[in-house]
Chains A and B, each alone.
Chain A
Amino acid sequence: MATVEHSNGAHSAGVEDGVRRRDFINIAAVSAAGVAGLATLYPLLNQMNPSADVLALASTEIDISAIKPGQAVKTIFRKQPLFVRHLTPQEIQAANQVPLSELRDPQSLAERTKPGKAQWLVTMGVCTHLGCVPLGAGEGENRGPFGGYFCPCHGSAYDTAARIRRGPAPKNLEVPDYSFKSDTVITVGKAA
């Protein structure tokens, strides 16, 4: 065996500096196997991420002409509920009166709407706590203590700018990418 040979003969260069060829081969082989193992793991884990068809951002067009002040509609974007709300002047005023320092996730109504379109509040209908659909978009639904949306799952309350005000949710309802195609039609998602 190589080990025996080497242990009694000091003529090999490898032994003199303390590293035998076999050690090198060992380390190289194990490292290669380790890297290969990790590389194999990658597709096994990554296959679980959203697939190409799910990722394909279907953009949705929504006609908002029929939504009267004080009303809201619930539609679907990326298989999730989307709220489009036509705020009344009182609701806009209520939102603007809140000092930003009082908010858990400080954002003004203006930052959450498009310039000159402060009455149109477009948000995901996905509670930022654990993802339930908050109430308040449908006619007669409970809008909670701050007049916006109320999540019945664990009691998160959102205000008229859909900002989190009370309860366990950490963030305001998410405002998706959208743009006004015309005064009465919006395109949600990155338009193709």
Chain B
Amino acid sequence: MSFSWAKAYEPKHPLMRWLDQRLPLPRLVYGAVGGGYPVPRNLNYWWNFGVLAGLALTIQIVTGIVLAMHYVASGDLAFQSVEHIMRDVNEGWLLRYVHANGASFFFIVTYIHIFRGIYFGSYKAPRELVWMLGLVILLLMMATAFMGYVLPWGQMSFWGAKVITGLFSAIPVVGTSVQQWLLGGYAPDQATLNRFFSLHYLLPFVIAGVVILHIWALHIPGSSNPTGVEVQSEQDTVPFHPFYTAKDGWFASLCITLFALVTFYAPNYLGHADNYIPANPLSTPAHIVPEWYFWPFYAILRAFTSDFLLPAKLWGVIAMFSAIILLFFLPWLDPSPVRSGNYRPTFKWFFWILVVDVIVLGFCGGRPAEEPWVMISQVATMYYFAHFLIVLPIISWTEKTLPLPSSITASVLHGEAAEAAPIDMSGQRPATAH
């Protein structure tokens, strides 16, 4: 695959040789996640989250398929069928709690994975498409989770469906028709529930497909690493198996243990009590909020309260979608040739300010639409956009970056200070990020 020294697959068993000649599936697996995929030797734990996201997707698909064996997508029966899963179906409570908390676990892991990419500059050439496919996965996950949350047909399900499809009514001229097209009626009802179930079943498999593209694109240049210096020779890498299968394996066990603790001891901690009340089209819960993983975006949506050229409502919707669309342009908003935040002293500060900013947005998004939360959301929203559109381009031009190690191996074996000297007498060239 990516490097000339990658080991080729050599079937040991005659059966595998027979199979490999007819359908080289074992070869594909060996080259993708086996001994045939060389990986930088210096990856830290932030590089474990991609595999964890794959694990979370698997958990959702497996538990989802068995839940669908008991769930009924009908306005009259959906709520009841979920209660039936909780009380009567053998281990149904477990399957449902794993699926509901699994969605949260999936988002935690994915958000960490994304911030890893932002800090270490993983979005930069030649990995722009890896980054953009990742964002497509994020958008699909959001659509999937939103529609899944509607399925139990509780109060939050119903009003969530109404408010989120209401976002589309902000589109000038055709907005109301679009909303009615999405809902199949004037308000969420049977037609809505049925189509959401159909799509909630479909999208995870679409996600799985995009994940394959994401990994395919990644395996062309191979993984980046904490120094951001590209792999130069065989000594910079180790084979994925057994090195990273072992590291990913033990770390996944740790994370599954933490996940199990939440699922068994606080299964409703991340949910809303209101969703245990059946949907009532005549009464809005006093405080409707989406699930926590949408809070930062919800805060941005609500930050626009007065009209300026366009109605406030449209601004909110535009800003909310732009918050993600913007990330597609990140590879070009940050043209600094140094990838890793470890060698970018100014960038590093602003990275952490961004993290705090997003957490503040998340916090405000979970509060009622009252002061001081609205005002704080406004400031934090402004900073969010300023970070990407103003701060980042400026620091990438003005910042004095630290010297890079000459190679991954050098940074691992000798400490980075010694290796940081510019071109020396032996003619050894320090590596740059290009």
Which chain A residues (102-160) contact chain B, with CB distance < 8 Å? Answer: 104, 125, 129-133, 152-155
User: Out of A48, A49, A79, A170, which one reaches B313, CB within 8 Å?
Assistant: A170
Supposing A48-B182, A130-B162 touch, asked if A80 and B281 sit within 8 A by C-beta, the answer is yes
User: Out of A48, A76, A78, A104, which one reaches B307, CB within 8 Å?
Assistant: A104
User: Within 8 Å CB of B169, what residues of A?
Assistant: 130-131
Contact (Cβ within 8 A) B167 A170 = no
User: Out of A51, A79, A133, which one reaches B284, CB within 8 Å?
Assistant: A133
B163 at the interface (CB under 8 A from A): yes
Contact (Cβ within 8 A) A79 B184 = no
Contact (Cβ within 8 A) A152 B287 = yes
CA distance A169 to B304 in the complex (A): 11
User: Out of A45, A54, A79, A152, which one reaches B281, CB within 8 Å?
Assistant: A79
Supposing A81-B282, A104-B307, A168-B304 touch, asked if A132 and B162 sit within 8 A by C-beta, the answer is yes
Contact (Cβ within 8 A) A79 B166 = no
A34 at the interface (CB under 8 A from B): no
Supposing A170-B311, A170-B313 touch, asked if A153 and B288 sit within 8 A by C-beta, the answer is yes
CA distance A179 to B24 in the complex (A): 73
Most B Cβ at <10 Å: residue of A48, A80, A129, A168: A168
User: Within 8 Å CB of A152, what residues of B?
Assistant: 284, 286-287, 368-369
CA distance A153 to B159 in the complex (A): 10
User: Out of B181, B284, B311, B374, which one reaches A132, CB within 8 Å?
Assistant: B284
- Interface Cβ pair total, 8 Å cutoff: 90
Give A192 Cβ to nearest chain B Cβ, in Å: 19
Interface size class of B (residues with CB under 8 A): 35 or more
User: Within 8 Å CB of B316, what residues of A?
Assistant: 168
B186 at the interface (CB under 8 A from A): yes
Give B186 Cβ to nearest chain A Cβ, in Å: 5
Contact (Cβ within 8 A) A79 B181 = no
User: Within 8 Å CB of A125, what residues of B?
Assistant: 282
Give A82 Cβ to nearest chain B Cβ, in Å: 10
CA distance A119 to B12 in the complex (A): 89
Give B363 Cβ to nearest chain A Cβ, in Å: 17
Give B162 Cβ to nearest chain A Cβ, in Å: 5
- Indicate with 1 or 0, residue by residue over B137-172, a CB within 8 angstroms of chain A CB atoms: 000000000000000000000010011111101100
User: Within 8 Å CB of A49, what residues of B?
Assistant: 180-181, 184
A167 at the interface (CB under 8 A from B): yes
B312 at the interface (CB under 8 A from A): yes
Supposing A129-B313, A170-B312 touch, asked if A51 and B184 sit within 8 A by C-beta, the answer is yes
Contact (Cβ within 8 A) A54 B163 = no
Contact (Cβ within 8 A) B305 A48 = no
Which of B187-195, B213-221, B235-243, B268-276 faces chain A? B187-195
Supposing A76-B282, A170-B312 touch, asked if A153 and B187 sit within 8 A by C-beta, the answer is no
- Taking beta carbons and an 8 Å cutoff, which residues of B are in contact with A? 159, 162-167, 169-170, 180-187, 189, 191, 195, 281-284, 286-288, 302, 304-305, 307, 311-314, 316, 368-370, 374
Seed contacts A78-B187, A168-B312; 10 additional CB < 8 Å A-B pairs: A49-B181, A54-B189, A79-B185, A81-B282, A131-B163, A132-B284, A133-B284, A152-B286, A168-B304, A168-B305
Query: What 10 A-B pairs have minimum CB-CB distances, sorted nearest first?
Result: A130-B166, A170-B311, A131-B166, A132-B284, A130-B163, A155-B369, A154-B369, A133-B284, A131-B162, A54-B185
- Taking beta carbons and an 8 Å cutoff, which residues of A are in contact with B? 45, 48-51, 54, 74, 76, 78-81, 104, 125, 129-133, 152-155, 167-170
* A and B contact pairs by CB, cutoff 8 A, 14 listed: A48-B195, A50-B180, A54-B189, A80-B187, A81-B282, A129-B313, A130-B313, A131-B163, A131-B165, A132-B284, A133-B282, A167-B305, A168-B304, A168-B305
